[in-house]
Amino acid sequence: MSDLVWTILAAVLMVIGLGGVVIPLLPGLALIWAVALGYGLTVGFGPFGVATMVVLTVLLALSVVLGFVIPKRSTDAHGVSRMSQVAALVGAIIGFFAIPIVGVPIGALIGVLLAERADKQDWTLAWQSTKALAKGLGINVLAQLAVGVVMIATWSVWAAVTLL
């Protein structure tokens, strides 16, 4: 296949990966990175491709860190206990297996709600903690989308250089 066909295929797969940020069916940003790697293996890296892969790797690592830091900061700022944060993690894992596609955030929210209710003996306070986690998860999705767009834009420059 020609470089143009590989470029189009890679672009389509990257957009699908970006959708995986919002709908956790696919490993969104990891898919974008893997497609870029496959693109390089197919059409050749060259010095520009190697530099691009370094940037994409740093962005992917940044997204992983953000995925933990943003929700944690939001829950910490609202006084959510460490035990409730662990319950959110356990709930996310259970949700992943119990409810395909949307189970992770639902499980995390249920986990923090129940743990905070047990800890504080007050549904209102538990609900406030749950809203704090939901806010953190929402901000995290926006941050992940931004990183994904930057990753695709970075790859697009490499693709344009390759095609020219």
Answer whether 20's CB lies under 8 Å from 31's CB: yes
Global confidence as pTM: 0.85
Helices and strands in the chain: count of H runs, count of E runs: 6, 0
pLDDT at 100 (0 to 100): 77
| 12-31: pLDDT as tens digits | 999 999 998 888 767 899 99
pLDDT at 18 (0 to 100): 93
| 34-55: pLDDT as tens digits | 999 999 999 999 899 999 999 9
Name the stretches of the chain with pLDDT < 50.
Answer: none
- Domain-wise residue ranges, the chain: 3-163
pLDDT at 7 (0 to 100): 94
Residue 66 tokens, joined? 């953000």
